[in-house]
Structure 1
Amino acid sequence: MNLAVSDLPVQAGIASDPDWWRGAVIYQIYPRSYQDTSGDGIGDLAGICQRLPYIASLGVDAIWVSPFFTSPMKDFGYDVADYTNVDPMFGALHDFDLLVAEAHKFGIRVMIDLVISHTSDQHPWFIESRTSRDNPKSDWFVWAEAKPDGTPPNNWLSIFGGSGWAWDPSRQQYYQHNFLTSQPDLNFHNPQVQDALLDVARFWLERGVNGFRLDTINFYFCDDQLRNNPALAPELRNASIAPTVNPYNHQEHIYDKNRPENLEFLRRFRALMDEFPDIAAVGEVGDAQYGLQIVADYTSGGDKMHMCYAFDFLAPDLLSPARVRTVLSDFMAAAPEGWACWAFSNHDVIRHGTRWGNLVSDRDRYLRMLAGLLLSLRGSVCLYQGEELGLTEAELAFEDLQDPYGIQFWPDFKGRDGCRTPMVWAENSDHAGFTEGQPWLPIPSEHRHMAVDAQEHVNASMLNHYRRLLAFRKQHPALAKGELEFIDCNDAVLGFIRRHGNEAVFCGFNLSDQEQFIDPPEGALTPLAGHGFSGMLKSDCIEIPPYDAFFARLG
């Protein structure tokens, strides 16, 4: 497939389908870095609207738009000061309404990123809450007395470093913050807080959104007794949630998050969504030890989240067939009726083009194979902007950093700016076609040759490889919605069968840099075309080149 944006017809709209999310491919857009139309060097909602033809040409089912709400931008929108308005740097409410309407014309659903575990310290709720211990919102955030010696109430830590508590001189109390001190945590034990947040979700549902990505969904509740977290054994520490230089990894987080009380709130959230047609939500589960079990708990029963994703495939460790098999098998065993959403990259982790690509002998072939693998797993898929171009992590100088996380732990941890640099649209244009102003983050010179216009009409480009794979997935519903059965191959090859209705598709992926020969599964195999891979069926075996794949219809 070599589909140019100009070749794409505008669709009439979106057909009703309450099950659309199951197997959907969701394209994550980080608004600050997608397309600027105002010239201030920061992307905006109008820019996303302008690029809808391109997004539609990819063949994705939905977009997930990272936060665009009113915010002081201490954490770049993940610190919300007004849940029902658009920050002026991104536009206004009418720009959002236009984006939804135009996306729907292209057959693209719109999901928005709700950040409700915490607010900005500039949110009116917190401004009122901190004024006294007896005002109407005094209990809307997690407040606690100091210990007799003046130290914080317990040992809880912040993901951004240091104590998870900040002292407020007005109330003479500490407030909890899992992230920056300017991001106070809401008290979900208060029913009024839950009601207010459900009203926020209703506001956006009534504006036509098709669902939500719920940020840090397992952080909503903390222990109401504020008990200390136990220490975590060194061999169990995992850097997929926080860098190893952060002592956050030294605790088992059973009291400051992951609380069982959250399940009932998620049922309330689901009940609200069910009042509207064809709505879905995906929750981000941020936990290195219990992530898959929490995903299972939150997606089971059909009365909570439609799908969740954990950080299992966002970790630094290079993928292996055994690792992929373990992650999917564990999830399917824990929640056989649940549904996962898988991602290899997002706005919080090093792009997998670098995270894993630097560890292999042929980055380009490896990334192409990974795209095929991700789009064949049982579950829905999140693709992060620029992933379809093969973008790598940007190396930025300290003086260019914007992310407080990176500034805090530099140089041992460089933060998240490297995966948030602007999208590259035009190889030879100023600022790669992203803006006519000065971009908020530098555009790496090595990204220019990967720009959309440099790949658009090249049949063998990474961009068109993704387009082919997305079209191939749509042609074979088993790849999107089917059950999954693993097939024993060898240590280098991951093999499985996807079954849906009368269709069964065998998928084989060579995760090594050596050609592999595997036995075919039992039954008649008919090789499938249209995916761009070169694995072959021989008379007595399947031959898969290095970092390549093979697809065939079974039966």
Structure 2
Amino acid sequence: MQAAMHIQNREGAEPAVEPDRDWWRGAVIYQIYPRSFQDSDGDGIGDLRGILTRLPHIASLGADAIWISPFFRSPMADFGYDVSDYRDVEPMFGTLDDFDAVVAEAHRLGLKVMIDLVLSHTSDAHPWFRESRGSRDNPKSDWYVWADAKPDGTPPNNWLSIFGGSAWAWDARRQQYYMHNFLAEQPDLNFHNSEVQDALLDVTRFWLERGVDGFRLDTINFYFHSQGLEDNPALAPESRDYSTAPAVNPYNWQDHIYDKSRPENVAFLTRFRALLDEYPAAAAVGEVGDAQRGLQIVADYTAGSDRVHMCYSFDFLSPDKISAERVRTVLEEFDRVASDGWSCWAFSNHDVMRHASRWAASEWDRTAYLKVISALLMSLRGSVCIYQGEELGLPEADLAFEDLRDPYGIRFWPEFKGRDGCRTPMVWDSHQPNAGFSPARPWLPVPAEHLTMAVNTQADDDNSLLEHYRRMLAFRAAHPALIKGSITFNDAQGDVVVFTRRHGNEQILCAFNLGGNDAALELGDGVSPVSIPGHGFSGTSAGGTIKLGAYGAWFGRIA
């Protein structure tokens, strides 16, 4: 864990501990999807008390923080990302007291707590929306994005929903359309209304007062829309990118310049950061969903010290397989556009196919491949998100249609199976019913192939992926250059990626062979190997030459 600073109090007694305001920079954040982490009450759905019992697992990995996906009151049309009460816990997950207990235990274990704030939209069951839709002149009539129909009754413009179809839904009471970037049950808030901003900042303060250390901001670039409601232009087929939405979704056919990623957002993020800065060490990471402008938006939102602390885009969450060339291109482009910004890198999360299936399925040694790309992730400049089960190497679950719960997958089946495959329950104990997740039938099935990867099957096995993650997180924590240092890439060929991390007087050279064949590179003199006990990588150095076995890695200290 990153150390806090000590300050001397006025009486000269024991020094007080000042929170490290910079803890987030280079932190490893473990994402918890509450429905699927641990069930404590036997209803087949994970909950806050379940999270409480499993926090030691996360602490044992060496993570710095947890990110808990939404647990607020919700009709669950989008499994918590449709919030009906920002200040209370959905009963299936527990109570506010349960949440307080999670925070207290996490802090006792040295873990920061970040929660998922869904600010761009609410549930249509939220009291704000119920009032807003009641008339065109009530106090909250302008809290959501309303627009008249065209003369022929069709929606105001061509904007599309990520979940398919028009981004506009007709409301019979107001005789107007309302905007929804996602499900029709998720109406978009109108951030052009300062009262909306104030209300959302009050929500943020509510959770800061309960002791949270920060936030993951859902769809951070979706807050504002163009008030002119202009049609989005078409996007040429060769320019389409499928990282934000699957290829079967015509959402990718537009250049989304009017319905999201608007310049007005920066001013709100400045207000948001000012609120966080009132607290000892609060931090935020934003999700940027924009295939065309992702890294530039990350740069805009993290520049200086008055916006959000860090963001992540979908560069390594897209279907495109990671490669040595792509790693260098993405990192160098980020450094070019955001030299004073900060990114948070992830390979998997609750919205995309697990990278153990996206990338590793075609490799001849799946475990060795997952080890080397995880070592790469832990060595990149930026912070890191690990999605639950990633440390076990869980592949995407192949579910039958009748088992699906995700409206996204149900709509586009079978060409796109949705997000349920990455949301199946965490596997803890291969000897217990449902791998120790719940004694009852889980909300999503536990795949049989996951049982052999359960925590109990990998713990204390030096060759397992789980123990490899523990070693890599410990190695990262021991070297400031890997946490907060700069990054400079070395020339390399083929599947090999090489870079140097520098911080203060420490310089660590990192070399990775992402391919299944042996490789070698010349580095010259002045580099001595750095040991990671038991890491199991096939990499050696002699006379300035590094030999990397298939899926091998090598770390060296530059004199």
How much does 1:528 deviate? 2.9
Q: Which residue of 1 aligns with 2:391?
A: 388
Residues 1:325 and 2:325 aligned together: no
CA distance in 1, matches of 2:524, 2:237: 42
Aligned residue in 1 for 2:96: 93
Tell me, yes or no, if structure 1 residue 355 matches structure 2 residue 358.
Answer: yes
Asked if 2 retains the 8 angstrom alpha-carbon contact of 1:468 and 1:532, the reply is no
Identity between Structure 1 and Structure 2 (%): 67
Q: 2:549 — aligned with what?
A: 545
Give the corresponding residue for 1:9. none
C-alpha contact 1:70 1:83 (8 A) present in aligned 2 = yes
Matched, 1:344 2:326: no
1:394-405 superposed matches below 5 A: 394-405=397-408
Q: Distance in 2 between matches of 1:14 and 1:444?
A: 46
Residue 532 of structure 1 and its aligned partner are, at CA, apart by 3.8
Measure, in 1, the Cα distance between the counterparts of 2:498 and 2:219.
32
Q: 1:457 aligns with which of 444, 455, 460?
A: 460
Shift of 1:521: 5.2
Which residue identity lines up with residue 136 of structure 1 in the other structure?
P
Counting only pairs closer than 5 Å after superposition, residues 144-543 of structure 1 correspond to structure 2 as: 144-520=147-523, 523-530=526-533, 531-543=535-547
Instruction: Calculate the TM-score normalised by the size of structure 2.
Output: 0.96
CA distance in 2, matches of 1:359, 1:84: 45
Which amino acid counterpart does residue 214 of structure 1 have in structure 2?
A: L
Gapped runs of 5+ residues in structure 2? 1-15
8 Å CA contact 1:188–1:220 kept in 2: the answer is yes
Conservation of the 8 A alpha-carbon contact between 1:155 and 1:163: yes
Amino acid at match of 1:346: N
Match of 1:97, as an amino acid?
A: D
Name the amino acid aligned to 1:381. Answer: V
Distance 1:521 1:305, change over 3 A: farther
Alpha-carbon distance, 1:15 to partner = 6.5
Q: State the distance in 2 between where 1:207 and 1:318 align.
A: 40
What is the distance in 2 between the residues matched to 1:298 and 1:139? Answer: 26
* 1:74 and 2:81 aligned: no
Q: What pairs with 1:26-105 in structure 2 (closer than 5 Å)?
A: 26-105=29-108
* 1:491 to partner: Cα distance: 2.1
2:9 maps to what in 1?
Answer: none
Question: Offset at 1:232?
Answer: 0.4
Query: With structure 1 as the length reference, what TM-score do the two structures score?
Result: 0.97
SS at match of 1:301: coil
Q: Say which SS state the counterpart of residue 130 (structure 2) adopts.
A: helix
Q: Are the structure 2 counterparts of residues 258 and 203 from structure 1 closer, same or farther at C-alpha, using a change threshold of 3 Å?
A: same
The answer on whether the counterparts of 1:487 and 1:521 sit within 8 Å (CA) in structure 2 is no
Cα deviations across residues 428-468 of structure 1 (Å, max 9, x unaligned)?
21110000111000000000000001111211111000000
Give the Cα separation in 1 of the matches to 2:479 and 2:537: 16
> 2: CA distance between counterparts of 1:359 and 1:218?
34
Q: Using the TM superposition, give the Cα deviation of residue 415 of structure 1 relative to its aligned residue in structure 2, in angstroms.
A: 0.1
Q: For the Cα contact (< 8 Å) 2:409–2:417, is it kept in 1? A: yes
One-letter code of the match for 1:545? G
CA contact (8 A) 1:390 1:450 kept: yes
Distance (Å, rounded) in 2 between the aligned partners of 1:364 and 1:14: 42
SS where residue 554 of structure 2 aligns? strand
One-letter amino acid matched to 1:413: F
The whole-number CA distance in structure 2 between the counterparts of 1:503 and 1:83 is 44
**CA–CA separation in structure 2 for the residues paired with 1:190 and 1:183:** 18
| Shift of residue 317, structure 1, vs aligned partner | 1.2
Matched residue SS, 1:292: helix
Preserved CA contact (<8 Å) 1:318 1:359? no
Provide runs of 4+ in structure 1 moved above 4 Å. none
* TM-aligned CA deviation for residue 410 of structure 1: 0.1
| Separation of aligned partners in 1, 2:159 and 2:532 | 53
What secondary structure, in the 3-state scheme, does the structure 1 residue paired with 2:385 have? strand
- Please say which of residues 140-149 and 316-325 is displaced more in the overlay: 316-325
Indicate if the aligned counterparts of 2:19 and 2:281 stay in contact, CA closer than 8 A. yes
Letter in 1 for 2:538: S
Query: Does 1 or 2 have the higher relative contact order (CA < 8 Å, sep 6+)?
Result: 1
Paired residues in the alignment total: 543
How far residue 334 of structure 1 moved from its aligned partner, in angstroms, is: 0.5
Report the counterpart of residue 5 of structure 1 in structure 2.
Answer: none
Alpha-carbon distance in structure 2 between the residues aligned to 1:14 and 1:355 = 44
Amino acid at match of 2:548: I
Contact 2:524 2:543 in 1 (8 A): no
Is it true that 1:128 corresponds to 2:137 in the alignment? Answer: no
Partner of 1:115: 118
Q: Secondary structure at the match of 1:150?
A: coil
Q: Residue 161 of structure 2 aligns to which amino acid in structure 1?
A: S
Look up the SS of the partner of 1:103 in the other structure. helix
How far, CA to CA, are the matches of 1:532 and 1:95 in structure 2?
41
- Distance in structure 2 (CA, Å) of the matches to 1:419 and 1:524: 41
> More displaced, 523-532 or 274-283?
523-532
For 2:392 and 2:529, how far apart are their aligned partners in 1?
31
Given that residues 396 and 418 in structure 1 are in contact (C-alpha distance below 8 angstroms), is that contact kept between their aligned partners in structure 2? yes
Residues of 1 paired with 2:272 and 2:211: CA distance?
Answer: 17
Could you tell me how far apart the structure 2 residues matched to 1:18 and 1:499 are?
A: 21
- 1:512 is displaced (CA, Å) by 1.1
